[in-house]
Amino acid sequence: MPEKITAPLGDHQIIIETGKIAKQADGAVTVQLGETIVVVAAVAAIKPREGQEFFPLTVDYREKAAAAGKFPGGYFKREGRPTEKEILTSRLIDRPIRPLFPKGWYNEVQVQSIVLSADGEHDPDILAVNGASAALMVSDIPWDGPLGAVRVGRVAGKFIANPTHSQMGASDLDLVYVGNATELVMFEGSAKEITEADFNAALAFAHEACQPVIAAQLELAKKAGQPKRKITVFQVPPEVLAEAKALVGDRIIPALLTHGKLDREAAVGAIVEEVGQKLVQKFGEEKVTGFVIKDAFYHIEKEAVRSLILDQEKRLDGRAFDAVRPIHCETGILPRAHGSALFSRGETQAVTLATLGTDEDVQEFDAYTGGDTEKKFILHYNFPNFSVGETGRISGPGRREIGHGALAERSLEPMLPLDTYPYSIRVTSEVMESNGSTSMATVCGGSLALMDAGIPLIRPVGGISVGLCTEYDDQGKIARYELLTDILGWEDHFCDMDCKIAGTEKGITGFQLDLKLGGIPHSLMTEALERAHTARLHVLAEMKKALAEPRKEMSKYAPRILTLKIDPEKIGALIGPGGKNIKRLVDESGCEINIEDDGTVKIFSVSEEGMKIARDAIEGMSAEAEPGKIYRGKVVTIKEFGAFVEFLPGRDGLVHISELANFRVKKTEDIVKLGDEIWVKCLGVDEKGRVRLSRKEAMADRDKEMAKDEGAAKPETARKQ
């Protein structure tokens, strides 16, 4: 039977219902807020695939055009590959739910979310996270939930739970928070230089706001939930693990402490190769598969790394727990890029490029669920295989690359004056080496590249990652822990947290927390934020040595922009019939010209000559004919009664046959031919805007001016004669 639960989420009511839709899934719910409705279904395979060696969780979130009463764009009129928003929301759901599945359980699990209705005000991403938790809770799939999710904004200093798109337009905070009944599980988002104290307050506010949703899920599971299925988890045979530890002995510690990532991997790899062969010889290939060896050494290495940190107070590269690796920065390293930088932090390195574009380069996209439909600032992050010394499939960006790029983008964006800056901006980050937190290297390098391009960044932005190594007691509480500033890849792999915090000297602009644990206390996160703040100031000081502020001059290869204002009624004349005038001007000048409805004209050009051609032509096209003024014009039409002369760009006037010369003219062609350039004087403009011109008057006036000039040039004695 269908069951429905209602709970407050901020100022609104969230409705979670199960048993009505998608009843063949292991667990399915619909979640509604306002008129936004999302269906989330979870299914787990009955048994693992043959040879399965990892937990195959797939999370997929999709927005449908029909949910907003629209047709999808594109030729086929059907939704295709996932958009960036859909990929980021899939990651948003994946990260908090993944650690709560049983360790060693390798049955495939799919959690799919589809937006069925979108009201344009309530973002479905928060509903999808809560729906994933609720679907898993009512299913028979083993999972250690529930979780509650909420978005927090801040308007006029006041926190708002689950704000609408309209409210978010005035917010200086966009925090997505996921928690359980007592602890913090995940967060991500951006802010306009929020302080650490205010950020902690936002986390506490978010935690309280999501508790009613957690309680509602528990009630729904009690009413409609299924008993959890019995499962078998994979474990390395105890005798094999014991033998592996005995064969490794104390050798793993010096191997782990080997200086340099690749040398460390080689040292550990040699032990794995040797011990693996001995295990196969003793227990046989059927019992000791490649996966058994891999998993056994994961346990051995994890135990050794954590023992080094917690028992011996040592990190793999010998640093103190609060130390940042050596930083090296350079700017202006690429001659043709509009801005470029190299940022290295230990064995993590990124080359970043900044590119200035025009209004035509703004990224436009469908936004079925509300929010912005275009972006003036784009950041793309690329992670080639060679950055970790490996080979692999070469393809387009994966979900991880899109996620890392989005984190860096939202960390830098609050410091860009996009409302007033006339250019579109793109930053690309090419990761050259990776050993921990390349996304934060991208933030630092991106900040330097933007300033190198002369883009008026309000303040430089830096970022750092803080890790965590914990030990739990018998009651499941943290007994010991160490925070690790600027984590290495191995510390990320074998420890418990990757907390990325980016910001300026004044406050936080971007953040993301990933945990391998079921949650951490808020007090621990307060310590992590203070650690990140101290490290960020150090990183910013090192960046300042390379470039302290935006350059005053842009690259000579960057497009220049000139903004003109014309009478909106002149726009049609500037464009011309069928766009004839503006197309001709673009071809002649080589510029890009954008015209807005209010008469604002933007000219983009890398050539000063092209800019002058475009400016002069536009000013001419938008100018008014001035009675009494003499113009140099071109004959564009010949008639029996006279000639039409283009005296301003795109503006014609009639020279009547009687005004062609100071004598009687029988045929227009006797005086002028098509294409001739002649001087004309404006006699006036009638009520319909028609301009009367005179060649006769223009020539008479010019003769008088020439006579004056010649007279002024004669000596005094010559004038008396």
Rounded Cα gap, residues 283 and 128, in angstroms: 47
Which residues fall within 8 angstroms of residue 173, CB to CB, at 6 or more apart? 152, 153, 154, 159, 189, 190, 191, 192, 194, 202
> What is the rounded radius of gyration, in angstroms, for the C-alpha atoms of the chain?
35
With a cut of 50, say whether residue 395 has pLDDT above it.
yes
Q: Assign 607 a pLDDT band (cuts: 50, 70, 90).
A: confident
Residue reference for tokens 């992670």: 383
286: number of Cβ within 10 Å: 7
Task: Say which amino acid occupies 367.
Answer: A
Question: What token pair was written down for 650?
Answer: 């795109």
Residue reference for tokens 């996932």: 82
Q: What's the confidence (pLDDT) of residue 710?
A: 66
With a cut of 90, say whether residue 227 has pLDDT above it.
yes
Q: Assign 687 a pLDDT band (cuts: 50, 70, 90).
A: confident
Q: Among the residues of 453-566, which ranges form H helices?
A: 489-494, 522-546
Q: Assign 399 a pLDDT band (cuts: 50, 70, 90).
A: very high
Per-residue pLDDT tens for 77-89?
888 889 999 999 9
Length of the chain: 721
With a cut of 90, say whether residue 476 has pLDDT above it.
no
Q: What's the confidence (pLDDT) of residue 720?
A: 35
Q: Which carries the bigger pLDDT value, residue 188 or residue 372? A: 188
What DSSP designation does 520 have?
B
* Cis peptide upstream of residue 102 (ω within 30 degrees of 0): no
Judge whether 444 and 542 are in contact, CB under 8 Å: no
Q: What's the confidence (pLDDT) of residue 19?
A: 95
Q: Could you tell me the maximum CA-CA distance found in the chain, to the nearest angstrom?
A: 130
Percent of the chain residues past pLDDT 90, beyond the cut: 78
Phi/psi class of residue 59: alpha, beta or left (left: φ > 0; alpha: ψ in -120 to 50)?
A: beta
Per-residue pLDDT tens for 431-446?
999 999 999 999 999 9
Q: What's the confidence (pLDDT) of residue 718?
A: 38
SS3 153: strand
Q: What average pLDDT does range 634-645 have in this prediction? A: 93
HSE toward the beta carbon, residue 442, CA cutoff 13 A = 32
Query: How open is the CA angle 303-307-310, to the nearest 5 degrees?
Result: 135
Q: Assign 100 a pLDDT band (cuts: 50, 70, 90).
A: very high
Residue reference for tokens 């209705």: 117
What is the overall mean pLDDT for the chain? 93
Q: Would you say the pTM of this structure is higher than 0.85?
A: yes
Per-residue pLDDT tens for 539-597?
999 999 999 999 999 999 999 888 888 888 888 888 888 888 889 889 989 888 989 89
Segment (H or E) for 261: helix 261-283
Q: Which carries the bigger pLDDT value, residue 358 or residue 715? A: 358
Rounded Cα gap, residues 136 and 99, in angstroms: 13
Beta strands in 10-136 (DSSP E): 12-18, 27-33, 36-44, 57-63, 109-117
597: number of Cβ within 10 Å: 7
Judge whether 480 and 470 are in contact, CB under 8 Å: yes
Which residues fall within 8 angstroms of residue 16, CB to CB, at 6 or more apart? 4, 5, 6, 7, 29, 30, 31, 130, 131, 134, 216, 217, 220
Phi and psi for 106 in degrees, rounded to 5? -115, 20
Q: Between helices 399-412 and 438-452, what is the axis angle to 10°? A: 50
496-505 burial, b at 16+ Cβ within 10 Å, e below that, comes to bbbbbbbbbe
Segment (H or E) for 691: strand 691-694
Query: How open is the CA angle 524-528-532, to the nearest 5 degrees?
Result: 170
Question: What token pair was written down for 298?
Answer: 């994961």
Phi/psi class of residue 346: alpha, beta or left (left: φ > 0; alpha: ψ in -120 to 50)?
A: left
What DSSP designation does 483 have?
E
SS3 495: coil
With a cut of 90, say whether residue 61 has pLDDT above it.
yes
Which residues fall within 8 angstroms of residue 266, CB to CB, at 6 or more apart? 258
With a cut of 70, say whether residue 713 has pLDDT above it.
no
Per-residue pLDDT tens for 154-173?
999 999 999 999 999 999 99
Per-residue pLDDT tens for 228-262?
999 999 999 999 999 999 999 999 999 999 999 99
With a cut of 60, say whether residue 714 has pLDDT above it.
no
Domains of the chain: 3-224 (3.30.230.70), 238-310 (1.10.10), 327-546 (3.30.230.70), 559-623 (3.30.1370.10), 626-721 (2.40.50.140)
Q: Assign 326 a pLDDT band (cuts: 50, 70, 90).
A: very high
Residue reference for tokens 């790899």: 269
Per-residue pLDDT tens for 331-343?
999 999 999 999 9
DSSP string, 359-408: GGG-EE---TTSS-SEESEEEEEE--GGGGT------S--HHHHHHHHHH
